[in-house]
Every structure is written in C-alpha cells, then in structure tokens.
Structure 1
Amino acid sequence: MARTEVIKFRDFMDGTWRISDKKKGDIKQKQVVDRLVKAGAMIPLALTPAFHASAAESVKTTASTMIAGTTLQILAHALDPVAQILVALSLPIASVVMIGGCYFFLFGNSEKAWSTIQNAGLGYILIQLSPLFIKVLEQVGKSI
C-alpha cells in the first residue's frame, strides 16, 4: 500500500511544498528581511508630528466630529439588512396574497377579492420603494 504524504494547507497554497528544505530557509530569511525593511520605512512616518493640528482643541473637535459622523452612519444603516430581507420576500408574499384574492372570486366574494389584490399590489410597490424612501430621509437629515 502506498504511503500518503500530508502537506500543510499553507505550504500547499503558497507552493513551498515543492521546494527543498535549504531553499525554504532562504525564502524565510528573505521574508524576515522584507518585513524589517517595511517596518523600517514605517518608523519615520510614525514618529513625525501632525503638522495639520495646531492646537489640542482642533484635534478634539475633529475627533468628535468624526465619531459623530461615524455613529450617525452606523445608526442610519443599522436596519439595511432587514430592509433587504423585506424587499426580497415581498414578491413571494404578494404573489400568495394575490392568489388568495383570486380564490375569493371562486367563492363569489368579488369585493373582497378586488380589495385583497389591490392591497397586495400596493403593499408590494411600497415595499419595493422603501429603500428609496430611506435614502431620501437620510439626505434630508444630512442637509439639516
């Protein structure tokens, strides 16, 4: 029975399983040197002072404005997944309700049938337009 060689997933994906152990050591050294060079290039950038901030007050104002804007954006888009689910489910639900309205015709209740079909169609249209309404309200809120 043939023996199965087990290869680590990471080695398989980067192709190092085909390379000999000596060359792997060279590659690891090169990776370490690359990381050190990148870190050395970032140190001067991290140590430079912020020239755009002339006083502590301006930094506080900028930070609070940024936090407020981020918080407002998070709150404004918190219910987007729920709205997307409702939009996706609106067609199947409206179809079932309209078919149910058609059954009212079979039972001789045409007024209730037309009312049900009309309400299902109007509900479907309003649900499909709800993302547009949300965007309009968001733009009105930003302009105030």
Structure 2
Amino acid sequence: MAKTEVIKFRDFMDGTWKQPKSKQADVKKVRDTLVKSGVLIPLAFSTAAQAHAAESIKTVASTAIAGTTLQLLAHALDPVTQIFVALSLPIASIVLIGGCYFFMFGQSERAWTTLQNAGLGYILIQLSPLFLKVLEQVGKSI
C-alpha cells in the first residue's frame, strides 16, 4: 500500500513542498535573517559608529527580500498550473470521445478538427510548466 504524504498548507502555497530539503533550509535561513535584520536595523541606526554595519545589514536584507519576493511571485500560480495539468487528461479524453461520435454521425471534417484540437491542447497544457520555467530562466538572465 502506498504511503500518503501530508503537506502543510503554507508549504503548499509557497511552493517549498516540492523543493529539496536543503533548499527549504536555505529559505528558512533567509526568513530568519530577515527577522533578525528587522530587529537589528533600528539598533544599528542608533549610533554613528555602527553606520557601516547598518549599511551592510540593509544590503543583506534588501538582497534577501528581493530574492524571496521574486521567488514567491514566480511560483505564485504553480498550484493552479498543476491543477490544469492534472485535469487535462480527463478533459482531453472526453473531447476525443466526442470527436469519435462526430465520425459516427457522418461529420468527418468536424471530427478531425475536434480530435486535432484536443490532442494539440493536451500537449500544450502538459508542456506549460516547461514553458513557464523557460520564461523564468530568461527573466533571470536579463
């Protein structure tokens, strides 16, 4: 009997459930750094001697925030994409069966169009996560 994996809702929504454990630990370290830097920034501005330390903390915090924000925005719609990919096979099957009925009723031109559109739609939906990853990589390289 197969084991059932339970995923926390927060991990599912932020996409960390599909990342390796080492990547999850990195995300938690960034979050901890953000919390600590949020506490330390007001203290760093209290004296002029610590101005340099405050600048380095601000730089680290802004870099961590930018990276985390970009990752959250890039993967915000991953659950929706996964639902579409999961539903594409049953829907394509129903449309293909409908196309076969068009053959039975003597409308072969409409049947071929329906079968072709169902097959092409299924393939494009299955490849949509790949397209999104390519777009993400292009965005990172710019």
TM-score bracket for this pair, using the shorter chain length: 0.5 to 0.7
Higher relative contact order (CA 8 A, sep 6+): 2
Instruction: Give the one of 53, 67, 70 matched to 1:69.
Output: 67
What stretches of structure 2 of length at least 5 have no aligned partner?
1-51
Moved over 3 A (4+): none
Displacement after TM superposition at 1:61 (Å) = 1.3
**Shift in Å at residue 100 of structure 1?**
0.2
- Superposed, 1:44-59 pairs within 5 Å as 55-59=53-57
TM-score by length of 2: 0.62
Q: Could you list the per-position Cα deviations for residues 22-77 of structure 1 after superposition, in whole angstroms to 9, with x for gaps in the alignment?
A: xxxxxxxxxxxxxxxxxxxxxxxxxxxxxxxx532121111111101101100111
2:132 aligned with 1:139, yes or no? Answer: no
The offset of 1:130, in angstroms, is 0.5
Q: Percent identity?
A: 84
Q: Which has the larger radius of gyration?
A: 1
> TM-score under structure 1 normalisation?
0.61
Which residues in structure 2 correspond to 1:50-129 (within 5 Å)? 55-129=53-127
Unaligned runs of 5+ in 1: 1-53
How many residues are paired up?
Answer: 92
Q: Secondary structure at the match of 1:142?
A: helix
1:115: how far off?
A: 0.2
